[in-house]
Chains A and B, each alone.
Chain A
Amino acid sequence: MANDSIWKRLISSLDPRHYNIERWSYTLHRITGVVLILFLIAHMVEIFHISLGPESWAATLALLGRLGPLENIGLWIIAGCVFYHGANGLRLLLNQVFGLLLGKPRMPVYPYTPTSLGKNQRIAIWTITAVVSGIWIWAGLYILAGLGIV
């Protein structure tokens, strides 16, 4: 595997099967992060057209309008990415900057269950999942309402 191409290695680094839930959340965090970056770039290109004058801006909006319901669905996915990446990012801040939710150094007791992947971490992850899913569904109702899908 060490000799594989970068793409193959990238994919395998994002494959959390056989691993812990934190690694699933790592995968999601990376993917949502990349989606958000792509969106931000696209968004910057979009609003760049404002500086080119009203006709250019109108043409951009018309182009987006041609996407139809895809635009709403896309926005909904972006919203999901924002919610997840933001909430999970808060957890990672607690972990990495404040050293919280990790447990203290301790005397190991068999069978070993690492405290950094312990109860606090699980509670945080499942809370994030629940809250993000809730908000996302609500956002879905809001964003997709006009489409007649919901």
Chain B
Amino acid sequence: MTEVMDFDVVIVGSGLAGLRAALQIMKNDEGKLGIRVAIISKLYLMRSHSVSAEGGTSAVLYPEEGDSMELYAWDTIKGSDFLADQDVVWRFVNLATDEIRLLERIGLPWNRRKDGKIEQRWFGGLSFPRATYAQDKSGFFMMRALYDTLLQYDNWERFDEYFVTSMVIEGGKFKGFTAIELKTGKMVFFKGKAGIIATGGNGQLWRITATASSTTGDGYGIAYMAGLPLEDMEFVQFHPTGLVPKGLLITEAARGEGGYLINAEGERFMKRYAPSKMELAPRDIVSRAEMMEIAQGRAATDKVSGLAHLWIDLRHLGKEKIEKKLPMIRELGLKNLGIDLAEAPLPVRPTAHYTMGGIRTDIDGKVLNDGHGSVDGLWAAGESACVSVHGSNRLGSNSTIECLVYGAIVGDGIYKYLEQHRDKDTALPKERVDSEENRIFNGILGKESGGEDVYQIKNELKDTMESNVHVYRTEEGLRTALVKIQELKKRYRNIRVDDHRPTLNYNLQHALELGFMLEQAEVVTMGAYLRKESRGAHARLDYKVRDDQHWLVHSLAWYTPEGPQFKYIPVNITMWKPVARVY
């Protein structure tokens, strides 16, 4: 029989959102209810991909210097190409300030000005320099501060290297997660009164990506397969400055500090695409500009990989400023290409970076099961959730702060929920757990020979997404991708795992991840195929303009065995009507 772990709260994902939620619960509780929290990670807790966030995180810190909540909200909504839910944005910007300060007080080394105040810098699409930063390792330091601070509480337990395979919802109520303990290969059931999905994004669907090999979007897969809708998945952010050839992230702060983007002719090409903001236009616009330069033959070519690319030039900033404010990207350039960006420009091109969409939640982070009702006891936060703060394009510096704000909101919401749900639920969904065990251990692991290779399918998927579901999309390309994904899905049913040892079976883990990835790829591609307009990060060459009359709507996708089923719901517009988006 499967081992059962019984907790009050089960948090899947140990990045910023998950840890912030846990901290909020600990802080609210302080021994009052004795809430017991489990934090599950498929890596180690402090290794989540949030550590790789670089440039900064936005908040209005010193309104007396000219910034305001309204301005921040406006920037976010305009950046989202008016697809963000405005009531959500308003709450989000109002809570951001406290988060920055809280993190300072738990030990984060924000860069400081001479007067001891926290320093902020420019980021793309902002009207005021409000990206708060700790060198260009902001996400790393945030994770460190949160992780370390959590260590002073002892009513939580860590589950490192547990891979969650599915979620159990019965009668509209969250029951728990099934997971594989990777070290032993055993199935475990995490039973909880409340659950949080905070598993991050799915950048690994693409060949060139800035994200870690762990960002396979498992949370999306888990929710989707449990019958919950995914929202706005067609909007995928491509970061304009991924280091060629792998796509490692060169932070937007490089441009925020004054870096130039230049093409092969040495020209600052952004003047053609965003004459007033130049390099500091939002990411979708800069990425499109780069792809356009590449398409029009003004790009350089990487000798080794053959990739077309542009240059990011920081030489004029001076070595001292770079060492003080951007040390990590200098290290990346030196380590990967042997290029010191204080002395030479770095080759960059768009790289898969962030999923604007995600598990549909209400303004409190509670997961919704259709347009209206919510799942009792289930929350989602961070990149895996779609509240939606970011609409169709996230502004740089808004992701980490969303994790913090929504981590806190969700933690707070769960605490209130648990205050009212003290009763003990002893029922176990034994059948569901057994069938999941059967699916994995007999269905996938039990196959002795023959069948399809995990990595073969994964690589074909990545290549398909890279060439057809990228910055610019066309009906033809999307159709090609859909056909290919459906073929891969069919082949996946005959998947083979070569490693049959129970201990640390990464081969099995990759096979399960691939199953989730294929489902998500289909949702992303189908969503993009159906959305016949260009908005934010979704740019169609055959439908070049934004169509507010028909498409000012969120897309929702449900799982069916035949493929995703789509439905559209209106955007919450409470403050500003959409206007033309020019930078």
> Do A109 and B334 touch (CB < 8 A)?
no
Kindly state the separation between the CA atoms of A108 and B324 in the bound complex, as whole angstroms.
9
In the complex, A111 has a CB within 8 A of chain B = yes
- Which residues on the A side are within 8 Å of B331 (C-beta)? 110
Report B-chain residues with C-beta under 8 Å of the C-beta of A110: 327, 330-331, 334-335
Using Cβ atoms and an 8 Å threshold, which residues of chain B touch A111?
A: 334
Residues of A within 8 A of B330 (CB): 110
Task: Name A108's closest neighbour in chain B (CB-CB).
Answer: B327
A107 on the B face (CB < 8 A)? yes
Asked if residues A107 and B334 are in contact (CB atoms below 8 Å), the reply is: no
Which chain A residues lie closer than 8 Å to B324 at the CB level?
107
Interface-central residue, A107, A108, A109, A111, by most chain B CB under 10 Å: A109
* Cα distance A109–B135 in the bound complex, in angstroms: 12
Instruction: Give the residues from 104 to 141 in chain A that come closer than 8 angstroms, CB to CB, to chain B.
Output: 107-111
C-alpha gap A110/B327 in the complex (Å): 7
B323 touches A (CB below 8 Å): yes
| Size band of the interface chain A makes with B | under 10
A105 CB to nearest chain B CB (Å): 12
Q: How far is the CA of A111 from the CA of B332 in the complex (A)?
A: 11
| Closest Cβ–Cβ distance, residue A115 to chain B (whole Å) | 16
Q: How far is the CA of A111 from the CA of B334 in the complex (A)?
A: 8
> Nearest chain A CB to B133's CB is how many angstroms away?
14
A7 to B11, CA, bound (A): 45
**Residue numbers in B under 8 Å from A109 (CB-CB):** 323, 327
CB distance from A111 to the nearest CB of B (A): 7
Set of chain A residues within 8 Å of B327, measured between Cβ atoms: 107-110
Most buried by B among A108, A109, A110, A111: A110
The 8 A CB mask of B319-351 against A (1 = contact, 0 = none) is 000011001001100110000000000000000
Residue in chain B with minimal CB distance to A109: B323
- In the complex, the chain B residue whose C-beta lies closest to that of A112 is B331
- Output the least CB separation between B494 and chain A (Å): 41
B358 → chain A, closest Cβ, in Å?
35
Contacts of A108 in B (CB 8 A): 327
Closest Cβ of chain B to A124, distance in Å, is 28
Whole-angstrom distance between the Cβ of A84 and the nearest chain B Cβ: 39
Q: Give the docked Cα–Cα distance between A1 and B323 (Å).
A: 39
**B331 — nearest CB in chain A belongs to which residue?**
A110
Cα-based distance from A108 to B331 in the complex (angstroms): 11
Residues from chain A with a CB closer than 8 A to the CB of B334 are 110-111
CA distance A108 to B323 in the complex (A): 8
Q: In whole angstroms, what is the CA distance A87 to B323 when docked?
A: 38
Interfacial chain B residues near A107, Cβ < 8 Å: 323-324, 327
B492 to chain A, nearest CB (A): 40
Give the docked Cα–Cα distance between A108 and B385 (Å). 36
- Measured in the bound complex, the distance between the Cα atoms of B334 and A108 in whole Å is 15
Chain B, Cβ-Cβ closest to A111: B334
Query: What is the 8 Å Cβ interface bit string for chain B, positions 332-375, against chain A (1 contact, 0 not)?
Result: 00110000000000000000000000000000000000000000
**What residue in chain A is nearest B332 (Cβ atoms)?**
A110
Alpha-carbon distance between A111 and B323 when the two chains are bound, in angstroms: 11
With both beta carbons as reference points, the residue of chain A lying nearest to B323 in the complex is identified as A109
Q: Mark B271-307, 1 if CB is under 8 A from A, else 0.
A: 0000000000000000000000000000000000000
Annotate A38-75 by CB proximity to B: 1 below 8 A, 0 otherwise. Answer: 00000000000000000000000000000000000000
Inter-chain CA distance A109–B322, complex, in Å, is 10
**Chain A residues in 8 Å Cβ range of B323:** 107, 109
The CA-CA distance from A109 to B321 in the complex, in Å, is 12
Bound Cα distance from A108 to B328, whole angstroms: 10
Q: In this complex, what residue of A is CB-closest to B319?
A: A109
Min CB–CB distance A32 → chain B (angstroms) = 39
A107 to B327, CA, bound (A): 10
Contacting residues, chain A, for B335 (C-beta < 8 A): 110
For the complex, give the distance between the alpha carbons of A111 and B327 in Å: 10
- Nearest Cβ distance between residue B197 and chain A, in whole angstroms? 36
Q: How far is the CA of A110 from the CA of B334 in the complex (A)?
A: 9
CB-CB nearest in chain B for A110: B331
**Nearest chain B CB to A139 CB, angstrom units:** 48
Min CB–CB distance B469 → chain A (angstroms): 36
Q: How does the 8 Å CB contact mask read for B153-193 relative to A, with 1 for contact and 0 for none?
A: 00000000000000000000000000000000000000000
Bound-state Cα–Cα, A109 to B331, Å: 9
Closest chain-A Cβ to B110's Cβ sits at a distance in Å of 14
| A84-116 near B? 1/0 per residue, CB < 8 Å | 000000000000000000000001111100000
Give bound CA distance, A107 to B330, whole Å. 14
A133 → chain B, closest Cβ, in Å?
Answer: 39
A42 CB to nearest B CB, Å: 50
Q: How far is the CA of A108 from the CA of B134 in the complex (A)?
A: 13
Q: In angstroms, how far is the closest chain B Cβ from the Cβ of A106?
A: 11
Taken together as a complex, chains A and B put the C-alpha atoms of A108 and B327 apart, in Å, by 8
Alpha-carbon distance between A108 and B335 when the two chains are bound, in angstroms: 15
Nearest CB of chain A from residue B50's CB, rounded to whole Å: 21
Measured CB to CB, the closest approach of chain A to B120, in angstroms, equals: 19
Q: Distance in Å from the Cβ of A112 to the closest Cβ of chain B?
A: 9
Q: Bound state CA distance, A110 and B338, in angstroms?
A: 12
| Nearest CB on B from A114, distance (A) | 15
CB-CB nearest in chain A for B322: A109
Alpha-carbon separation in the docked complex, A89 to B409 (Å)? 57
Minimal Cβ-Cβ distance residue in A for B328? A110
A59 CA / B189 CA spacing, docked (Å) = 79
A107 to B335, CA, bound (A): 19
Assembled-state Cα–Cα distance A111/B331 (Å):
7
Chain A proximity of B437: nearest CB distance (Å): 33
Smallest beta-carbon distance B157→chain A, Å: 25
Instruction: Tell me the bound Cα distance from A110 to B335 in angstroms.
Output: 10
In the assembled complex, the CB of A113 is this many whole angstroms from the nearest CB of chain B, namely 13
Nearest Cβ on chain B to A54's Cβ, whole angstroms = 68
A111 to B330, CA, bound (A): 10
CB distance from B194 to the nearest CB of A (A): 39
Excluding A107-B323, A110-B334, A110-B335, 9 further A-B contacts by CB distance (< 8 Å) are: A107-B324, A107-B327, A108-B327, A109-B323, A109-B327, A110-B327, A110-B330, A110-B331, A111-B334
9 A–B contact pairs at CB < 8 A?
A107-B324, A107-B327, A108-B327, A109-B323, A109-B327, A110-B327, A110-B331, A110-B334, A110-B335
Q: Which 6 A-B pairs have the closest CB atoms?
A: A110-B331, A109-B323, A110-B330, A110-B334, A110-B327, A107-B324
